[in-house]
Structure 1
Amino acid sequence: MVGPDEVLEFWLDEAGPKGWYMQDEAFDAEIRKRFEAAWEGACEGKYSMWLTHPSGVLAYLILTDQFPRNMYRGSKAAFSTDKLALAAAKAAISKKWDMKIDEPARQFFYLPLMHSENLCDQDRCVRLMKERMPVEGPSNLLHARAHREVIRLFGRFPYRNEALARHSTEPELDYVMAGGYGETVRLLQAAS
């Protein structure tokens, strides 16, 4: 059985910031090979003890929020444990456990909020990025604002529609064709 230290060592030390946001099939396959069984265990509630201390919650958030986005990229399963991650993140933030984790790893407490299709969660993510992340990391705040803008416009992330078998509206299709999220980021950068 995988322990939280194994998840943290892989994500924080082996993958590191360079690996966190890259799209690479070999990297995704490595995560599947090493952690898919643990992710399935989290789906079954086997890792609740991880939620009793800050570093355990961090590992749980990586397992339920980050890893599925790599393991199941482009499919419904990529988002299937978002609710588990969101509940764990909110509980940990309310205890200020996020502040016991150094940057840049602290951001993983806020990403479940950023991945939520709820505007209140998006607003909270922006606030937390402003208040609790380093000034020298403006891209976290930029991406939090961009995610919030998409939810303000559509109430959901249009680029998930296909994976989630949702019907896209005309404005959503226009948005995606006009550059989608990348264009939102560019416009926010230009405005700041």
Structure 2
Amino acid sequence: MAHGDTKFQPSLVQLREVHDFWYEQLTRPEDFVLPEKKHNEHWFFGNEAFDQMCVKSGITSGNDILEAVQLDDPLDWVSLIILLDQIPRNCYRGDSAAIAFSFFDPMARDVALAAAKRGLPEANPQIRWQLAYRKWFYLPFVHAEDMEAHVVATQGFEMMRKDVYDLTEETDGEEELEAPQGHERPDYRARARKAIQANVARSRLTLDTWADAEKRHVDIIKRFGRFPHRNDALGRTSTMEEREYLENGGETFARPKSTLGVGGCGAAQVHN
């Protein structure tokens, strides 16, 4: 697959680098269970320094993906989704944003669907009970201009919210997960329960906020069949209703403007 002259063939080494880069601010086990506000701001409302790091990582240059690497480690699946769904949103903006929407986004959804067929994220305890990993599996569907994809996203966020709400009320300990011979496996559920019960209000608010964000995306797709704020980047003509919507404060899911310039990390930006 190609978009212009863009070539893309990530290696497992690059995916591990993506993981280390993306999660460098998470220093405690409980941070992976329930990311703090500052972690979400780092990911979703970054700054120019973060954008520059995305560009300098050299990992959004482009072409063929699923045939390039064989993924066995669940964390490599997380990294690949971040590489396709999130990194381009820091590196292609303004007039260049179309490549994120039309090239990387479809690949991110393919990977997320392939992951789901392998039981990720819900059937894997390492991913299911560490929300800093789990939530990224749903974002490719959130970014789709397709209601079927949003059904998947909505269900994913609701399942995740139910898991968190259940843990806030759970009193009995869970059985230890069976580990391979000669290996110890962390009890991710018990760790999650401890972290979430220590932060019940924040846990519920976080999951409610994530679910509400998906609902706002769904409402736009139901109304317009697409995201109007993407029209300029994709060369689409806005309808009168779409123009009125945007002119009157309609959702753009954008961060504050950056000054780094189009095609790097910057310009008038669209995160969604």
Larger Rg: 2
* 2:209 equivalent in structure 1: 139
* 1:12 equivalent in structure 2: 23
Contact in 2 for aligned 1:50/1:59 (Cα 8 Å): no
The gaps in structure 2 that reach 5 residues or longer are: 1-10, 27-38, 166-203, 254-272
Contact in 1 for aligned 2:81/2:137 (Cα 8 Å): yes
Contact in 1 for aligned 2:142/2:149 (Cα 8 Å): yes
The gaps in structure 1 that reach 5 residues or longer are: 184-192
The percentage of aligned residue pairs carrying the same residue is 32
* 1:150 equivalent in structure 2: 220
* 1:109 equivalent in structure 2: 137
2-side partners of 1:119 and 1:27: how far apart?
A: 32
Larger % of helix: which? 1
* 1:190 equivalent in structure 2: none
Structure 1 pair 51/171, CA: closer, same or farther in 2 (3 Å)? Answer: farther
* 2:117 equivalent in structure 1: 94
Helix, strand or coil for the counterpart of 2:61?
A: helix
* Alignment: residue pair count: 180
Higher normalized contact order (CA 8 Å, seq sep 6+, divided by chain length): 2
* 1:82 equivalent in structure 2: 105
Contact in 2 for aligned 1:4/1:59 (Cα 8 Å): yes
Contact in 1 for aligned 2:65/2:107 (Cα 8 Å): no
Contact in 2 for aligned 1:118/1:151 (Cα 8 Å): yes
Query: 4+ residue runs of structure 1 moved beyond 6 angstroms?
Result: none
* 1:22 equivalent in structure 2: 45
1:182 CA displacement: 6.5
1-side partners of 2:66 and 2:113: how far apart?
A: 19
One-letter code of the match for 1:27? Answer: F
Contact in 1 for aligned 2:229/2:252 (Cα 8 Å): no
TM-score normalised by structure 1 residue count: 0.84
Tell me how large the CA RMSD over aligned residues is: 2.2
* 2:60 equivalent in structure 1: 39
1:33 CA displacement: 0.7
Q: Which deviates further from its counterpart, 136-145 or 44-53?
A: 44-53
One-letter code of the match for 1:110? Answer: Y
One-letter code of the match for 1:39? Answer: T
